[in-house]
């Protein structure tokens, strides 16, 4: 009897670029679902292109070749999740970033805040705190700091701790001083910090009455009423449906005639809430709630 010859298996066929993208989409969706179920952080409605870049950056930093491998590590290693959270958080900031925004805030928002005996301001997505100290300085120079409570929130507990400390690189002070002057600063910027080795330690009085707390714009709810909300350069990373939910959160959180401040690339137009606000400064993205 002649033995039957084994039929060789066909060679593995390389995935097409379309198939590769499809597999990547599945991997990303599974990873984000795993993060929600394991840790409670929801990134499923972040803008896909930016999200994928950040996920791949963390995968490569961990020495991994696939998003699936990153999922496995994140699920079994909370320290890896902490590192990924830093990558997914929006932490690019400087003091008095976009000085013209602070000039407009001094001219058009400060007079409104002066009409209240006490005001609350929410800085949503405060990152490492540069914006918190910038706004506190504006309020101090307007004579409002003592009767204002700043609520500084971020999804990332590690960056919040850095914000609480108020220690920034001395190398940045030249840039920050220039920004401060362009933003209408009224004093010597060096009055607000002490140089200590390689760090500039900012005056604790600036945040003496501030509240630093974790808050997730994706899943958490309204927690107070505010006379102003500043959320700049955060929603550009959200998709349209998530942006709408965040606008709803801000609308519910603002008192009537409260002010909403956004980043230069963000807008309330076409959000479904544009008729609820009047424009205070279109160029600097400042709106006042009127309904």
Residue 30 token pair:
């599974």
111 lies in the same domain as 143: yes
228: domain CATH number is: 3.40.50.150
Question: 243-277 b/e with 16+ CB inside 10 Å = b?
Answer: beebbebbbebbeeebbbbbbeebebeebebeebb
- Asked if residue 12 is part of any domain, the answer here is no
CB 221 within 8 A of CB 248: no
List CB contacts of 241: < 8 A, sequence separation 6 or more. 45
Enter the DSSP assignment of 46.
Answer: B
Per-residue pLDDT, averaged over 114-124, amounts to 98
Residue 82, in any domain of the structure:
yes
Among residues 88, 112, 132, which one ends one of the domains? 88
Does residue 65 sit in the same domain as residue 159? no
> Within a domain: residue 175?
yes
Give 32-82 pLDDT, tens digit per residue: 999 989 988 888 888 888 899 999 999 999 999 999 999 999 999 999 998
125 and 254, same domain (yes or no): yes
Inter-CA distances, 148 with 134, 138, 155, 289, Å: 14, 12, 23, 19
How far apart are alpha carbons 166 and 168 in whole angstroms? 6
Residue range(s) defining the domain that contains residue 156: 99-289
Q: What is the pLDDT of residues 156-193, one digit of tens each?
A: 888 899 999 999 999 999 999 999 999 999 999 999 99
If asked whether residues 103 and 231 sit together in one domain, one would say yes
What's the domain count of the chain? Answer: 2
Total-model pTM: 0.82
**Percent of the chain whose pLDDT exceeds 70:** 94
Please answer whether residues 261 and 228 qualify as being in contact, where contact means their C-beta atoms are separated by less than 8 angstroms. Answer: yes
User: Is position 3 within any domain?
Assistant: no
What average pLDDT does the structure give for the chain?
91
245 and 125 inside one domain: yes
Residue 216 included in any domain: yes
Q: What is the per-residue burial (b if ≥16 Cβ within 10 Å, else e) of 164-203? A: bebbbeeeebeebbebbeebbbeeebeebbeeeeebbebb
């Amino acid at each position: 009897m002649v033995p039957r010859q084994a039929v060789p298996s066909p060679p593995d066929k390389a995935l097409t670029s379309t198939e590769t993208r499809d597999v990547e989409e599945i991997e990303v969706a599974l990873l984000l679902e795993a993060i929600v179920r394991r840790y409670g952080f929801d990134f499923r409605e972040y803008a896909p292109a930016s999200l994928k870049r950040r996920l791949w950056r963390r995968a490569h930093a961990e020495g991994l070749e696939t998003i699936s491998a990153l999922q496995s590590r994140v699920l079994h290693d909370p320290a890896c999740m902490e590192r990924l959270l830093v990558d997914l958080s929006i932490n690019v900031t400087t003091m008095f970033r976009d000085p013209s925004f602070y000039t407009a805030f001094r001219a058009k928002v400060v007079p409104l805040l002066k009409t209240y005996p006490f005001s609350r301001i929410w800085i949503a997505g405060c990152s490492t705190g540069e914006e918190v100290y910038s706004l506190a300085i504006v309020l101090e120079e307007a004579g409002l700091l003592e009767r204002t409570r700043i609520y500084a929130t971020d999804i990332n507990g590690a960056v919040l701790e850095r914000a609480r400390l108020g220690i920034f690189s001395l190398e940045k002070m030249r840039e920050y001083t220039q920004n401060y002057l362009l933003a209408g600063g009224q004093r010597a910027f060096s009055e607000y910090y002490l140089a200590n080795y390689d760090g500039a330690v900012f005056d604790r009085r600036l945040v003496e009455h501030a509240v630093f707390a974790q808050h997730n714009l994706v899943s958490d709810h309204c927690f107070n009423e505010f006379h102003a909300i500043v959320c700049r350069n955060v929603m550009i990373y959200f998709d349209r449906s998530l942006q709408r939910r965040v606008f709803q959160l801000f609308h519910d959180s603002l008192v009537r005639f409260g002010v909403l401040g956004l980043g230069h690339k963000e807008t309330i137009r076409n959000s479904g809430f544009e008729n609820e606000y009047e424009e205070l400064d279109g160029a600097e993205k400042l709106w006042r709630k009127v309904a």
